[in-house]
């Protein structure tokens, strides 16, 4: 995963596999439909505490590592 857009596609894929609408998934996650839409479309402004809570509820774990140089 290299971008917020990639993460958005992952969230979208999870929602599609559940067969839920954005509205239904948002209700299950405790966020607004608009927030979920922005997350799925990779809007970087959604990265806040709520963002990490949603990822946790979806079972998505982020890990970071220092990029190798050279």
- The CATH code of the domain that includes 38 is 1.10.260.40
Identify which of 36, 32, 46 has the alpha carbon closest to the alpha carbon of residue 4: 46
pLDDT digit string (tens) for 1-44? 677 888 899 999 999 999 999 999 999 999 999 999 999 998 86
User: Is the Cβ–Cβ distance between 29 and 36 less than 8 Å?
Assistant: yes
Domain count along the chain: 1
Q: What is the pLDDT of residue 7?
A: 86
Structural domain span for residue 19: 4-58
Q: Is 26 helix (H, G, I), strand (E, B) or coil?
A: helix
| Residue 41 included in any domain | yes
Assigned token pair, 39: 């997350």
| Residue 68 included in any domain | no
No. of H helices and E strands in the chain? 4, 0
| Residue 70 included in any domain | no
Give the Cα separation of 59 and 39 in Å (integer).
15
Q: What is the pLDDT of residue 70?
A: 67
Assigned token pair, 15: 């929602």
pTM of the model: 0.76
């Amino acid at each position: 995963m290299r971008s917020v857009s990639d993460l958005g596609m992952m969230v979208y894929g999870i929602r599609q596999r559940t067969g839920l609408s954005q509205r239904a998934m948002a209700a299950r996650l405790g966020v607004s439909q608009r927030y979920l839409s922005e997350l799925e479309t990779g809007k970087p402004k959604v990265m806040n505490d709520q963002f990490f809570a949603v990822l946790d509820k979806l079972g998505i774990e982020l890990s970071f590592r220092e990029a190798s140089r050279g």
